[in-house]
Chain A
Amino acid sequence: MKTIIGLEIHVQLATATKLFCGCSTDYQDDEPNTHCCPVCLGLPGALPRLNRKAVEYGLRVAKALDMRVLEESTFARKNYFYPDLAKAYQVTQDDKPLAVEGIVEIEDDEGHEKIIRITRAHLEEDPGRLVHVAGGSKYSLVDYNRSGIPLLEIVTEPDMRSPQEARRFLNKLRTILEYLEVFDGDREGGLRVDANISIEGSARVEVKNISSYKGVEKALTFEVTRQRNMIRRGQTVARETRHFMEGRGITTSSRGKEEAHDYRYFPDPDLGPLHVADRVADIDLPELPTARKDRFMEQYGASANHARTLTGDPRLADFYEEVAHVDPALAATWVADTLLGELNYRDMNITAVPPGHIIELLELLKIGTITDRAGVQVLRTLLDACVEGRPCETPAAIVEREGLGKTAGDEFTPIVRAVVAANPQAVEDYRSGKEGALNFLVGQVMKETRGRADPRELRKIVSESIRVDGV
């Protein structure tokens, strides 16, 4: 039984002002209804004036996804009643969208390259937002700060075959959008998804209201299981719209609410047609994720995995390129594995890390001033300070203050002697040819020296010390 998934993605475009008026889009932490004017409030008589930047952003996406921009595209009104919809219609695009027929490359579940076809991309305005008052109030409040935020709706063909593929597609799309600088990935609700999912031969179910891209895999996995179970039991999957309950990780039927809608689309008489196809040629696209990944492998000798991880976020990739000159391979490991892990652990953003500090850390590691283990310790100390907003000490200062510098071998001689003396059995085992015993002894010395010693060097010292002592 084949799983068939198609997505509709609503992307908030990161323009400074709204789609049809000059109100600022930067409302996230502000009081409700403070970023409004007659236009986005839908006051009688107000008229829309198209934001050229939003069109330009849409065209950038269209070009990056290899889409065909229509010679003429038009705006339409989508009519429906909802209290958060100021004009009782949404200005969107219907039969003449901005662009059609694009592609996104992803990896399928076997790791093979796969093409997801993009059906269309069109511009539309975000509605306002209902705020439900806690405690079973008889009323809801409306906040129009979001009303008129530009959205780009991207619709795919039903080309995905598993929830994991859908997640990979979204990750890829999101990365492309971030590379194009048309989208702010940190913004809550900046990317919202409706998913169409069916098991081959059965009815299609639309899952609405998936407001995080992480939720998509969850919602789809739930749906696949639910639909497969129904089919297994001989039941019929109903063609319906379902609602994703993010908190509970389940979907519920929203029958009756969405089904009967006739949106009565018609061309918006307040907005003329767009003729922007000829502008596409002049758009300079930045290097996109796939090209950058290939270049990282080529230029820095990064492994495919490292290259993919590093280019998965343009800011991470930029960061890597800033520090790579110290030693590309060392930098790749430290940024893609160590640093990224420590950032995730702290829920920190790469932008909070000063690249100069990491360059210094990499230099200390490269010339052997500190060991890998001490390096991790320096990194943690550094990030802990950054995350709390304290002034970040430089790695050299941390090494100095904490005495983490790798010391010359002879400084350890007394410790090595003491460990050898305290573990006669292990010494005996090593002499009789058990290599593992040496690891144990080295480990003991490492513990005593708090990781300042280079394990490889230490191995040499310990084994020499045993030989010398034995003579």
Chain B
Amino acid sequence: MAGTLNFSPDDRYNAFITTCGEAPFGDGALAGIAVAVKDNISTAGIQTTCASRILAGYIPPYDAHVVELLRGAGAAIVGKTNMDEFGMGSTTGTSAFGPTKNPVDLDRVPGGSSGGSAAAVAAGLVPMALGTDAGGAIRCPAAFCGIVGFKPTSGRVSRYGLIAHTSSLEEIGPMAQTVEDVSRLLSVIARYDPRDSMMTDRPYDHRPSAEIKGLRVGIPAEYFGEGVDERIGEQVRSAIGVLEDLGAELVPVSIPGMRYALPAYSIICMSEASSNLARYDGVRYGPAVDTKKSWHEAYQDLRGEYLGVEARRRVLLGTLTLSAGYAGRYHAKALAARQNITRDFERAFSDVDIIAGPTMPTVAFRPDEVTDPLTLYRLDALTVPASLAGIPAISVPCGRVENLPVGLQLMGRRFEDERVIDVAFAYEQEGRA
């Protein structure tokens, strides 16, 4: 059964940074299936860049845990997908290898940072792909490109080999055309790995079921408020109506801590990034340091030159938010806000089984439409809360606005990934019928 898959995609979307023309595969649950892997997941022998010039040419000597599992299940790893540099962005526009285009409309962004994986799946170049999600980076491009993307409960999929941008928030998750394929890919990658100390031994072995009668679905007002395109709100409400038709009960809920979600997320994310990215100093990765300079000066020049503008902005801000005299004002408060949001969700989930809302406040836009960092950060408003709380969340396509895809976001209790998958599956089946 084992063999080699020839892979020569018509990648007019710039979805891939690296493609493997002849990808070996083996036996197993994913035998011979082409899987694309986001370029921040380590692949032994295959260049892994995080879409950054500072890592260009880096070939990891080891496989990430999820890649070991993919290979073990017989999948063919056909390429490494484009992304925002180190995952810092929501458009795949900060990549050092050029932006990825949205297959639905080539003039629009695919979302990010897992835009390459989303575009590869949406364009049919691969049936499934791995993305990573720290604040919406799987769900946002899934919504913008009209596919399914799932962020598992934190601790359910090993992060070993995921090149860290924001360690406490980022998760690896599956992306595919259907909920069923997402579930299939998840059952391969959600396996216990003792090398990730933050992991819980809760393997995912589940086949989606469309039975949701009696389920209580919470609708948080915050997800339909200011900044959310009203047409998207309507579209999503009618999708939630489908769930009601299937026997679910709709219940209003509230996540008051959400107003602090974005600042908390930004501070945690940037603080961790400033630490995680510090090792890229030109000594072991990227272009060589000019040996005529003192090492401090050489680091400074190299990092200034080879990190992109968004990466530099976040490293600098993150350095500030951890600095003496500022850490208490920023980082410590962000951690407290995170706790509050986590508790808000826990409280809501004591009453409901699922929380539903839009994935993104807008549809995919043109690259020049939104450029200032703050407006870009605000696009994550509806995806960031689930990341802070560490709960499972999925984006499943629910129609179109202006002929562009809209995503329905479903969130569940920690380690109830199965239930989230089931509700998404139920909606998908009904929508298709």
Q: Could you list which residues of chain A lie within 8 angstroms of chain B, going by C-beta atoms? A: 38, 42-50, 77, 79, 81, 83, 86-89, 138-139, 142, 262, 264-266, 269-272
User: Which of B18-26, B177-185, B190-198, B353-361 has 4 or more CB atoms under 8 Å from chain A?
Assistant: B190-198
Beyond known contacts A79-B278, A88-B278, A271-B198: 15 more, CB 8 A cutoff: A44-B42, A44-B60, A45-B160, A47-B160, A79-B274, A79-B275, A81-B296, A81-B299, A138-B292, A262-B323, A262-B324, A264-B327, A266-B271, A269-B198, A270-B164
Q: Which residue of A lies closest to B291 (CB)?
A: A138
**Cβ of B7 under 8 Å from chain A:** no
Chain B residues, CB < 8 A from A50: 197
B167: contacting residue among A38, A43, A265, A270, CB under 8 A: A270
Contact across chains for B291 and A266 when beta carbons are under 8 A apart:
no
Interface string of B164-176 (1 = CB under 8 A from A): 1001100000000
Contact across chains for B291 and A271 when beta carbons are under 8 A apart:
no
Chain A residues, CB < 8 A from B331: 266
Query: A262-B324, A264-B323, A266-B327 are contacts. A47–B62 as well, Cβ < 8 Å?
Result: no
Chain B residues, CB < 8 A from A89: 275, 278
Contact across chains for A87 and B278 when beta carbons are under 8 A apart:
yes
For B, the interface residue count at a CB cutoff of 8 angstroms equals 43
Query: A49-B197, A79-B275 are contacts. A44–B167 as well, Cβ < 8 Å?
Result: no
For chain B residues 249-301, which have a beta carbon within 8 Å of chain A?
271-272, 274-275, 278-279, 281, 283, 285, 291-292, 295-296, 299
B197: contacting residue among A81, A83, A138, A270, CB under 8 A: A270
**Cβ of B319 under 8 Å from chain A:** yes
Determine the distance from Cα of A47 to Cα of B291 in the docked complex, in whole angstroms.
30
Chain B residues, CB < 8 A from A88: 275, 278-279, 281
Determine the distance from Cα of A258 to Cα of B211 in the docked complex, in whole angstroms.
64
**Cβ of B161 under 8 Å from chain A:** yes
Chain B residues, CB < 8 A from A271: 197-198
Contact across chains for B283 and A272 when beta carbons are under 8 A apart:
no
Determine the distance from Cα of A460 to Cα of B123 in the docked complex, in whole angstroms.
113
Chain B residues, CB < 8 A from A265: 322, 327
Contacts across chains A and B counted by CB atoms under 8 Å: 94
Chain B residues, CB < 8 A from A43: 42, 60-62
Determine the distance from Cα of A38 to Cα of B295 in the docked complex, in whole angstroms.
24
B195: contacting residue among A47, A86, A139, CB under 8 A: A47
Chain B residues, CB < 8 A from A272: 197-198
Contact across chains for A269 and B323 when beta carbons are under 8 A apart:
no
Instruction: Enumerate the 9 nearest inter-chain pairs by beta-carbon distance, A residue then B residue, closest first.
Output: A88-B278, A269-B168, A264-B322, A269-B167, A44-B163, A45-B161, A45-B42, A88-B279, A45-B163
For chain B residues 131-189, which have a beta carbon within 8 Å of chain A?
159-164, 167-168
Determine the distance from Cα of A44 to Cα of B167 in the docked complex, in whole angstroms.
12
Contact across chains for B291 and A264 when beta carbons are under 8 A apart:
no
Chain A residues, CB < 8 A from B50: 44
Query: A46-B160, A47-B195 are contacts. A81–B278 as well, Cβ < 8 Å?
Result: yes
**Cβ of B13 under 8 Å from chain A:** no
Residue in B55, B198, B292 with the greatest tally of chain A CB atoms within 10 Å: B198
Chain B residues, CB < 8 A from A266: 271-272, 275, 322, 327, 331
Give min CB distance, A345 to chain B, whole Å: 46
Secondary structure dominating the interface of B: loop
Give min CB distance, A125 to chain B, whole Å: 14
For chain B residues 60-113, which have a beta carbon within 8 Å of chain A?
60-62, 64
Chain A residues, CB < 8 A from B271: 266
**Cβ of B58 under 8 Å from chain A:** yes
Query: A81-B296, A83-B295, A264-B322 are contacts. A45–B275 as well, Cβ < 8 Å?
Result: no
Query: A45-B60, A87-B278 are contacts. A79–B322 as well, Cβ < 8 Å?
Result: yes
Chain B residues, CB < 8 A from A44: 42, 48, 50, 55, 58, 60, 163-164, 279, 285
User: What are 25 inter-chain pairs, A to B, with CB distance below 8 A?
Assistant: A42-B279, A43-B42, A43-B62, A44-B42, A44-B279, A44-B285, A45-B64, A45-B159, A45-B160, A45-B161, A45-B164, A46-B160, A48-B197, A49-B194, A49-B197, A77-B275, A81-B281, A81-B296, A138-B291, A142-B283, A264-B275, A264-B322, A264-B323, A266-B327, A272-B197
Chain A residues, CB < 8 A from B159: 45, 47
Determine the distance from Cα of A88 to Cα of B273 in the docked complex, in whole angstroms.
12
Give min CB distance, A96 to chain B, whole Å: 14
Chain A residues, CB < 8 A from B291: 138-139
For chain B residues 314-339, which have a beta carbon within 8 Å of chain A?
319, 322-324, 327, 331
Determine the distance from Cα of A228 to Cα of B352 in the docked complex, in whole angstroms.
73
Chain B residues, CB < 8 A from A86: 279
Q: Which residue of B lies closest to A20 (CB)?
A: B197
Give min CB distance, B93 to chain A, whole Å: 22
Give min CB distance, A251 to chain B, whole Å: 24
